[in-house]
Amino acid sequence: MSNPALPEALRNALAAKCGSIVSQTLLWQRSLESARASGASEASLLLLLDGFNSSRTVDALVVGVSDEAGGIDGFLDQLKELVDESAFDLRAWLSAFESVESHLATKGRWATASSILGYLQCSAEFGGSSENRQSLPEIVDGMLEQYGFEGQEGCGTGLSG
């Protein structure tokens, strides 16, 4: 299941993630090709492949950053800044992003990447105290259950503020 359109490092990472599951490999391959066509760097694609559990999240991210400056690479730069300012690591932020995307998908909705980052930033600020022992994805799941997702309302608006 080799795809010469993807760089070797990405093909190897894809093979390690999916193993011999052809359907999963094809879904991830299509998502990575779409993200690459949108201008994402190989390093960004490797990070997303490692950090997300579902290729659908990559697809949603491609759509979610389509009208935002910097695309996927800019999104990840902004995300890394938020990670540096929080008590949570990058993997936790990516998992929390995926939780919001999944929540929206089950409701037939979508949102820009910046509005999701704003929601995550608010959740991290709310639940990032040293006495809180929850992970960021747990905090976000609780916030989604209790308050839902209203888009750009909340503590901040991610990329733009």
How far is C-alpha 19 from the geometric centre of its chain's CA atoms? 22
Parse the chain into domains and list their residue ranges.
8-160
Q: Six-digit token pair at 135?
A: 């992970």
How far is C-alpha 58 from the geometric centre of its chain's CA atoms? 7
Which pLDDT score, from 0 to 100, does residue 137 have?
A: 95
Which pLDDT score, from 0 to 100, does residue 151 have?
A: 72
Contact 92, 137 (CB under 8 A): yes
Which pLDDT score, from 0 to 100, does residue 152 have?
A: 55
CA 25 – CA 124 distance, rounded (Å): 33
Which pLDDT score, from 0 to 100, does residue 155 have?
A: 53
Q: What is the mean pLDDT of each run of 10 residues along the chain (161 residues)?
A: 73 96 96 94 97 95 88 95 93 96 92 92 81 86 91 47 38
Which pLDDT score, from 0 to 100, does residue 2 have?
A: 45
Phi then psi dihedrals of residue 150, to 5 deg = -110, 15
Phi then psi dihedrals of residue 133, to 5 deg = -105, 10
- Give helix then strand counts, H and E, for the chain: 8, 0
Which pLDDT score, from 0 to 100, does residue 54 have?
A: 95
CA 99 – CA 24 distance, rounded (Å): 19
Q: Six-digit token pair at 73?
A: 């690479």
